[in-house]
Amino acid sequence: MQSPDHVTIDVRPVDAYNGWNLMGEKRGGHIAGAKSLSAKWASYIDWIEIVRNKEIRPHHQLILYGYDPGETEKVAEMFLSAGYKNISIYEHFLEEWVEDPELPMEYLKNYKQLVYPLWVKNLLEGENPPGYDNDKFRVCHAHYRNPDIYHQGHIPGSIALDTLLLESPKTWNRRSPEELEKNLTSLGITHDTTVVLYGRFDFPKNEDPFPGSSAGQLGAMRCAAIMLYAGVKDVRILNGGMQSWLDAAYDITTRETKPDTAEGFGEKIPQRPELMIDTPEAKNLITSKQGNLICVRSWPEYIGEVSGYNYIEKKGRIPGAVFADCGTDAYHMENYRNLDHSMREQNEVSKNWEKDGITADKHNAFYCGTGWRGSEAFLNAYLMGWPNVSVYDGGWFEWSNDPKNPVESGIPK
C-alpha cells in the first residue's frame, strides 16, 4: 500500500464501499485508499473507460478484493483481457482485514443518508433496516411537473413528489417558509419524518421534460437539499435512484399511494437557513479567502457558448466563481456519478475539487443554472461530512437577470 505503483480495488457494491455492512461485518467501509470498481459494472460495454477514468493504468500492481471470490475473479479476468498483467486477489478481507482494528479502513462519513434498494424495501415492508429507529417515514418519487412518470411505474408504497411543491416555477428558488410548511405537511412530512427520495432515469419516449436527462434523480437531489434547509432531520437518498431498484430486480407498481396530511411541520421553517444562500452572500463569498462560490455547470455554459436553458437568455459566468464541471450539459452530472447513476466515490470527487481550492475547511456554496445540479454537488459535500456547505439558490438564472451584476465569458486566462 505504500508503493505509488500499487492500486487496491474494491469490487463490492458501492454501498458496501461507502460504509454499509452488507454482510454483517464488524467494520463498515473499505480498505483505506482503495478505489471502487463494482463487479456489477463488468457487464458494461464501456467498462474499460470506467477503469481509465479512475486512472488505473496497465503498469500498476492491482490488488482486488470483495465479498464473493467468483465476482472478484471475474473482474480480474476483465483486467487480464484488457492487457493488465500484474494482478493479485486478496481473499481475506472479511475474516482478516475487517477484524483487525489496526488495519486502516475508510468510509463515507454520512453514508447512512445514502441508502440502498434492500434498505428501502425493508423499510416499506415494516422490517426496520439498519440505522433506522423512527416510527414514521415517507418514500418520495420525485418528478418535475409530470405525474405520469410516477403512474407509469414506481416503487410500491412511494408517493409522488412534484419538485414545484418545494421551488417556485417563476424563480426556481426555494418556496417561502409558509409555502414549504403547507406543501410538506400535505405530503405528511414533518420535521421528524424520515424521508427517502429517488427519481427515474428511463423516461418514456417524448415524455422526458428534459430530453435525454436524468431529471428525476436530479429533482430528488434538489428536494433533499430544500428539505434539509426546511428542517427535516432525516433526509435520505436512494443511491442510484429507481435504476438501482430495477437492477436489484425488485417489483414496481402503477398503484398510487396517497399520503395522509400532517397537522403541522412541528418546528419553524427554516431550521437550517445556512444551507441556502442568496445573491448578497454569494457576492461576499467571491471575495472571501475563507470561501468559494462554486459553479457546477458544463464547460460550454461556463465559457458562454450556451446559456444552458431555453428560458435563460444571457450567456456567461459569474466572475470569480470556481468551476466544478458537472458534465456534458445542463441536465447531466456525469462527473459526480457512476454509470449506474450511483454517487461517485468521495475520494475522486474531493480530489477533483481540491485541484481548484475547494476544500473542507472553507465555506463552499454550489450553484448551477437553477439549483438542481448545485444541490447534487452540495449533497456530495454534505455526505462527506464537510461542515460548512450551502446551495446558492438563485444561481445563474437570478444572477444573469440583474443587469447590475457583472458577467464574464470566454476561456479564463
For residue 92, what is its C-alpha cell? Answer: 481475506
Catalytic residue among 140, 223, 295, 368: 368
State the residue for C-alpha cell 427519481: 199
Q: Cα–Cα distance between 58 and 84 in angstroms, integer?
A: 5
Query: Cα dihedral sign for 239, 245, 247, 248?
Result: positive
State the residue for C-alpha cell 424563480: 171
The identity of residue 227, as a single letter, is: M
Q: How many CB atoms lie within 10 A of CB 14?
A: 26
Confirm if 205 and 148 have CB atoms less than 8 A apart: no
Q: Cα–Cα distance between 13 and 67 in angstroms, integer?
A: 9
Of the candidates 116, 162, 100, the one whose C-alpha atom is nearest the C-alpha of residue 22 is: 116
Q: How far is CA 86 from CA 5, 46, 327, in A?
A: 11, 22, 33
For the chain, the residue count is 413
Q: Cα–Cα distance between 180 and 159 in angstroms, integer?
A: 17
Active site residue 368: yes
Residues noted as catalytic:
368
